[in-house]
Amino acid sequence: MEDRAILESFRTGVGEKDAFDSLFRKYYPAMCVYAHRYVDMEETEDIVQECFVWIWNNRSVIVVDRSVPNYLYSMVRHRALNNIRKRNIGQKVSEMLQEISKEEMAENTFDAEELKRRIQEAIESLPDQYREAFTLHRFSDKTYSEIAGMYHVSPKTIDYRIQQALKILRRKLSDYLPATLLAAVMNLLENFR
């Protein structure tokens, strides 16, 4: 079936199972290959299957404002990046907190778990483009050029997004952390790789 006919079948409910099967057979392998650009092979099938489950559950309300392949690849990219973010943020924040000297921690009374939670929340609250650039660079060791290639933008755009993310994080965390500890955390966020 043609992509537009598949979407029409979803909207009308006529032949939607066959349309879904056609969509699945046509795009599943390519979506797995695409997902592998972001995550390990073990995760790719889970991500793509989650996408297809979402498509099936929302088939009657899906609005595709671009080509179907672009829509599907965008969905895969977002799910893969969310998996990376969820997996890496907690681990990396814990590592960063361990780098803060014991003296700084003794001078400033705070709960390390609370700090970890606040940092994670601050990162998760970033605008999507800033958060994705920031987490890919800081927590997945991607270069500006690699990230720029993923999003088809210039490395300067990625640099801007990361700098904006750091400004937002500094502002969001400043209310919670004393100045010396905020400086230490921000230094780690800016330089951690």
Q: Are the beta carbons of 80 and 47 closer than 8 angstroms?
A: yes
- The domains found in the chain, sorted by start residue, are 3-76 (1.10.1740.10), 100-191 (1.10.10.10)
Is the overall model pTM greater than 0.75, yes or no? no
Q: Are the beta carbons of 174 and 119 closer than 8 angstroms?
A: no
Q: Are the beta carbons of 89 and 135 closer than 8 angstroms?
A: yes
Q: Are the beta carbons of 138 and 92 closer than 8 angstroms?
A: yes
Weakest-pLDDT range from 5-14, 145-154, 183-192: 183-192
**Cβ-count burial 80-97 (b if 16+ within 10 Å, e if not):** bbbbbbeebbeebbeebb
Coil, helix or strand at residue 127: coil
Q: State pLDDT tens for residues 7-38.
A: 888 878 788 888 889 999 999 999 999 999 88
pLDDT over threshold 50, residue 193: no
